[in-house]
């Protein structure tokens, strides 16, 4: 078993399952959090991730197959998705992929779910499709405010992590999002984004 990545939350190992490559995602102990709370968070997110991966597939969103779950070890064994994360793409491909992130995000929202951590490293381009991963913070919700948080986070990720293509990537994302949700739906949600942002600015001034 090979350590592939050390994420903010979890260690990602490349392993094998029935002769195929598989990913073992193990949520790590955070020493600065109270032990009981840390255990509860890791359990909840591990379980949540496994459940939400299966749920989003029902909406037609590509996601890795969950192969096994060991809650006592905070571990999920899942299908390995070969490919590149959107975050590592060159600007031209990145902008295009952000359109697909937009339509996937809208598909989640339309079906009453949010991802909770929409970043360019949580989407993998593979076999001409975009797979969503890292669903530990995903949840079911019907509130436009929660959908707005997904959009706002992604726009922030673009301006902090992909400054040069941020504008074009955001426009592409919105095009993809609108194509699934429709103009009026997007207008309602982006109004909430603007409200949150103006409150945020006010808070920093005070």
Ligand X SMILES: Nc1ncnc2c1ncn2[C@@H]1O[C@H](COP(=O)(O)OP(=O)(O)OP(=O)(O)O)[C@@H](O)[C@H]1O
Q: Please give the residue ranges that form the binding site for ligand X (CB under 6 A).
A: 5, 7-10, 12, 23, 25, 64, 78, 80-81, 85, 121-122, 124, 133-134
Per-residue mark of binding to Mg ion, 128-167 (x: CB under 5 A): ------x---------------------------------
- What CA–CA distance (Å, rounded) separates 99 from 170? 8
Closest by Cα among 156, 150, 115 to 136: 115
Is residue 120 a contact point for Mg ion (CB under 5 A)?
no
SS3 per residue for 136-155: CCCEECCCHHHHHHHHHHHH
Q: Find the part of the chain contacting Mg ion (CB under 5 A) among 55-63, 117-125, 159-167, 173-181.
A: 117-125
Comparison of 134 and 150: residue with beta carbon closer to Mg ion: 134
Angle between helices 183-205 and 144-161 (to 10 degrees): 70
Taking residue 139's Cβ as centre, other Cβ atoms within 10 Å add up to 14
Comparison of 122 and 190: residue with beta carbon closer to Mg ion: 122
Residue nearest to Mg ion (CB): 134
Comparison of 139 and 144: residue with beta carbon closer to ligand X: 139
- Grouping H, G, I as helix, E, B as strand and the rest as coil, residue 79 is strand
Enzyme catalytic residues: 117
């Amino acid at each position: 078993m090979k350590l592939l990545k050390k994420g903010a939350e979890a260690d990602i190992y490349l392993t094998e399952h029935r002769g195929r490559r598989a990913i073992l995602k193990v949520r790590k102990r955070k020493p600065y959090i109270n032990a009981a709370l840390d255990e509860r968070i890791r359990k909840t997110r591990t379980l949540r991730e496994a459940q939400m991966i299966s749920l989003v597939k029902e909406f037609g969103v590509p996601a890795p197959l969950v192969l096994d779950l060991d809650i006592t070890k905070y571990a999920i064994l899942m299908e390995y998705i070969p490919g590149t994360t959107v975050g590592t793409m060159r600007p031209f491909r990145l902008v295009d992929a952000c359109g697909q992130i937009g339509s996937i995000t809208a598909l989640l929202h339309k079906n009453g779910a949010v991802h909770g951590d929409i970043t360019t490293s949580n989407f993998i381009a593979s076999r001409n499709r975009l797979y969503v991963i890292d669903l530990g913070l995903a949840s079911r919700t019907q509130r436009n405010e929660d959908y707005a948080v997904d959009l706002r986070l992604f726009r922030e990720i673009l301006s902090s992590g992909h400054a040069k293509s941020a504008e074009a990537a955001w426009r592409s994302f919105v095009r993809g999002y609108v194509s699934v949700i429709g103009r009026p739906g997007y207008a309602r949600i982006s109004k909430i984004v603007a409200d949150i942002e103006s409150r945020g600015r006010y808070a920093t001034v005070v």
